[in-house]
Amino acid sequence: MIFREAGQFKSSYREDEAHLVLREERLFVLAVTLFAAVVVPAIAGEYLLRSILIPFLIFALATIGLNILVGYTGLISLGTAGFMAVGAFAAYKIATSFPWMHFGIVFVLAAVVAAVVGIAFGLPSLRIKGFYLAVTTLAAHFFIEWTLTHFGWFSNYASSGVISSPPLETFGYVIDAAWERYLLCLGFLVVMTVIAKNLVRSALGRSWMAIRDMDVAAEVIGIPILKTKLLAFAISSFYCGLAGALWAFVFLGSVEAQAFDIFRAFDVLFMVIIGGLGSIVGSYLGAGFFVILPIVITNVAGLFGGAVATDTLASLELVVFGGMIVFFLIVEPFGLARIWELAKEKLRLWPFPY
C-alpha cells in the first residue's frame, strides 16, 4: 500500500499472529467492508446488485472453497459444480420438508450435506492424485448431475425437474429486495472468509500445505494423510454447497440440475487459476475478473456501434479467458493475488526504491 510499517513494532506473540499486523491494513479492510455493506446498497441500482454483485459474491464463496482444495492442499477437483448442485437441492429438500426452519439453518445444513458427499468422493484421494484424481472428481460431477436429474425425489417429483425456492422469511419479514439479498450474500461471504483465513493459518492449514508440497514427507513427520485430505474435501464441499444454496435461493430463485453443469466447474477453476492458487484474496480477484470481463468486452464492442455480432463477443470472451489462463500459468502461477502483492511492495518503497 502507500503506507510503510515504520514505527509499528510487534511486542507479543498475539500481535505477531494477527491477520492484519499494520494499523493501516486494519483500517483499510474495515473501510472496504463498511463501503460494501453501507455505501454500495445505498447507491447501486437493481441491475448492478442482482446481475453483477450477487453472482460475484457467490462465485467468490465457491472459489474460496475450491482454493482450499486445489491451492492449499494440492488436490485437483472438477466436482465443484456437482457439490454446488448438492447444496442447492439439499437446501430445497430441507426447506420444503421443514418449512418452519430458518433459511440460515437450512443453508448450513445443506452445506453439511454437500460436505458429507464431498467426503465420500474424496476417499479416492488417498490412493490417487493429479490427473487421475481430476478424472475421479469429474466422474463424481456427472454422477451427481445424473442422480439429481433422474430421481424425482430430489425435486419433489416436479415434472420439469426445476426447484423453486420458498420465500426467504426471517422473523415474519420476507427478504426480497435486491439490496437485502446482496447483504445476505455479503454476510455469508464475510463470515466464511474469516473462517477460511483462520483455517489456513491453523495447524490444519499447515498440514494441508505440507501435503501439497510433498505428501510423503508430510506422512513421515506424522501428519495423518487420509484425515487431512478428507477434511480438505469436506470443508471445500461445505463452501461449494453453501454457494450452491445461495445460487438457487438468493440469486436465481428457481434452478435445475443442468444449471450446475461441467462448464460451471471449469468457471470456478479458472477463477482460482486467474486469481491465484493458495490465496483468499486471489479468490475475490478471480471471481471479480470473471464477472467483470464480459461486461468490459460488451462495452468495448458497443463503441463500434453494434458492428460486432453477439456470438463473436461470446467467442472473444472465451479467447480472452483462455489467453489469460495460459499467461498466468506461464508467467505468474500465483495469479492476480501475486501481482497485487508486488504492487503493494513497490508502493511501500516508492519513491525510494533502494
pLDDT digits (tens, 9 = 90+) for 315-334: 877 888 788 888 888 887 78
CB 94 within 8 A of CB 110: yes
Residue at grid coordinates 533502494:
354
Phi, psi dihedral angles at 170 (to 5 degrees): -135, 115
Residue at grid coordinates 438457487:
248
* Confidence class for position 22, pLDDT limits 50, 70, 90: confident
Instruction: Mention every residue, 6+ apart, whose C-beta is less than 8 A from residue 5.
Output: 21, 22, 348
Instruction: Mention every residue, 6+ apart, whose C-beta is less than 8 A from residue 335.
Output: 273, 274, 275, 276, 277, 279, 282, 285, 286, 328
| pLDDT higher than 80, residue 37 | yes
- Please choose, from the candidates 322, 243, 294, 320, the residue with its C-alpha nearest in 3D space to the C-alpha of residue 59: 243
* Confidence class for position 2, pLDDT limits 50, 70, 90: low
First to last CA, the chain: 17
Domain 20-349, second-level architecture = Orthogonal Bundle (1.10)
* Confidence class for position 5, pLDDT limits 50, 70, 90: low
* Confidence class for position 105, pLDDT limits 50, 70, 90: very high
pLDDT given at position 228: 92
Give the C-alpha separation, 116 to 113, whole Å.
5
Is the preceding peptide bond at 55 cis, omega within 30 degrees of 0?
no
- Please choose, from the candidates 72, 67, 94, the residue with its C-alpha nearest in 3D space to the C-alpha of residue 239: 67
Average pLDDT, the chain: 87
133 HSE (CA, 13 A, CB side): 19
The pTM (predicted TM-score) of the whole model is: 0.90
How many other CB atoms are found less than 10 A from the CB of residue 165?
Answer: 21
Q: DSSP 3-state assignment of 164?
A: strand
pLDDT given at position 253: 87
| pLDDT higher than 60, residue 117 | yes
pLDDT tens, position by position, 239-265: 999 999 999 999 998 888 888 988 899
* Confidence class for position 165, pLDDT limits 50, 70, 90: confident
CB 147 within 8 A of CB 138: no
Q: DSSP 3-state assignment of 121?
A: helix
Q: What percent of the chain has pLDDT over 90?
A: 41
pLDDT tens, position by position, 63-78: 999 999 999 998 888 8
pLDDT given at position 352: 67
pLDDT tens, position by position, 289-306: 888 888 887 777 777 776
Mean pLDDT is lowest, of 52-61, 128-137, 182-191, 205-214, for 128-137
Q: Residue 30 class from Cβ within 10 Å (0-12 exposed, 13-18 middle, 19+ buried)?
A: exposed
pLDDT given at position 242: 95
